[in-house]
Amino acid sequence: MSRSALGRGLGALLMKQPFASKSDAPPPSTLPQEPRPTTLVQSSSSGEAVLVVPIDQLRPSALQPRRDFPLESLQELADSIREQGIIQPLVARKRGDHFELIAGERRWRASQMADLKEVPVILRDAGDATVLEWMLIENLQREDLNPIEEAKGYSQLIEHFSLRQEDVATKVGRSRVSVANALRLLRLPSELQVHIREGRLSVGHAKVLLSLVTETDQTLAAEKVLKGVLNVRQTEVLVAAIQRAAASGVATTSPSPHPRIQDAHIADLATKMQQRLGTKVGLRYNKGKGSVEIKFFSDSDLERILEILGIELN
Integer CA distances (angstroms), 267 to 39, 60, 73, 116, 276, in order: 67, 47, 41, 57, 14
Integer CA distances (angstroms), 253 to 8, 246, 266, 274, 291, in order: 64, 11, 15, 26, 17
Segment (H or E) for 152: helix 147-161
Integer CA distances (angstroms), 73 to 13, 77, 137, 163, in order: 22, 6, 21, 34
Which residues partner with 61 through β-bridges? none
Clarify whether 236 is annotated catalytic: no
> Strand pairing of 281-286 and 98-103?
unpaired
> Strand pairing of 40-43 and 58-59?
unpaired
Any idea what DSSP says for residue 294? E
In contact, 65 and 152? CB cutoff 8 Å: yes
∠ CA 138-141-146, rounded to 5°: 90
Q: What are the φ/ψ torsions at residue 180 (nearest 5 degrees)?
A: -65, -45
∠ CA 49-51-53, rounded to 5°: 155
Amino acid code (one letter) for 95: R
Residue 224's Cα: distance from chain center in Å? 22
| Catalytic-role residue among 72, 76, 105, 307 | 105
Which are the catalytic amino acids?
105
